Amino acid sequence: MHVDLPEKLYYSIGEVAKAFDVNASLIRFWEKEFDVIQPKKNAKGNRKFTQQDIKNLELIYHLVKERGFTLDGAKVHLKEEKKKTLSNFEIIRKLQQIRAELVKIKDNL
């Protein structure tokens, strides 16, 4: 899953939920379960997610939804191998973007 969000400093929970095609309640649940997700809250209590929050959510989504980790398994994996997992995950995402661009170029030939 590649999240397609415009470049902004902060994203609302609605934007984040729509980008991941999940309910906002799941995003709030993951926020409680994973301490790497720490959106800022404004005076009204509305969550504002940063680019780093989005990257962490992408990684959690990948582990839980795409690789089938349990929440506890994902927590352990993140704690023990976060740097390695994040590095591999970012490489995979970049390769997917490159592949999509190459397919687009091929289709235009």
Say how many C-beta atoms besides its own lie within 10 A of residue 60's C-beta: 23
Q: What is the pLDDT of residue 32?
A: 95
Task: Evaluate whether the domain defined by 13-108 bears CATH number 1.10.1660.10.
Answer: yes
> Counting Cβ atoms within 10 Å, is residue 4 exposed (0-12), middle (13-18) or buried (19+)?
exposed
Q: What is the pLDDT of residue 82?
A: 65
Q: What is the pLDDT of residue 28?
A: 95
List pLDDT tens digits, range 6-29: 788 899 999 999 999 999 999 999
**Whole-model pTM?**
0.69
**Residue extents of the structural domains in the chain:** 13-108
- In the chain, which residues have pLDDT < 70? 1-2, 4, 82-86
Asked if 25 and 44 touch (Cβ cutoff 8 Å), the reply is no
